[in-house]
Amino acid sequence: MKVKALRYKKEHNPFQEFVHISVLEGHNNVDIYTSSLPHIQPETATIEDMKEYYREWGCEIDFEPFELVEFELVEKNTVGADIRNKLSPSLNLVSMLEIFFEPRIAHVSEERAKLAELIQKEMKNSKENIEYIANLL
């Protein structure tokens, strides 16, 4: 899911900290502070909408030093499953190629045998890499 968060532009804050804006109890006034954690806004949020929202509370805020940045909000432990699912076709292809290039099948010509040897080597490396990626998370 995509979300947005308000943060300082690089020229106003080299660390580009996230900006939090709280309307204070008396309204008409805000507290602006920074954090290493974002204050999540909907994907449809715009600076113009935020200006209007705070204007309705009677607060004028200079949004020039800020920018809305988009983030991908991902549930924990779902990326690994997604990667494994996406790699399944590649693993199936490797399995099929292993069967196709078994010594009893790859006997047609000397060139094919040399090519089969190179392909088998690359299949082994690819399979190891895919298994490594599949087990990352």
| Res. 132: pLDDT tops 60 | yes
Average pLDDT over residues 112-120: 73
CA-based nearest residue to 6, from 48, 36, 29, 40: 40
Between these two residues, 47 and 27, which has the higher pLDDT value?
A: 47
Would you list the domain boundaries of the chain?
A: 2-72, 78-134
Instruction: Tell me: pLDDT of 92 over 80.
Output: no
Q: What is the pLDDT of residues 25-41, one digit of tens each?
A: 777 789 999 999 999 99
DSSP string for residues in 56-108: HTT-----TTEEEEEEE---TTHHHHHHHHHHHHHHHHHHHHHHHTSTTT--S
The mean pLDDT of 8-24, rounded to a whole number, is 93
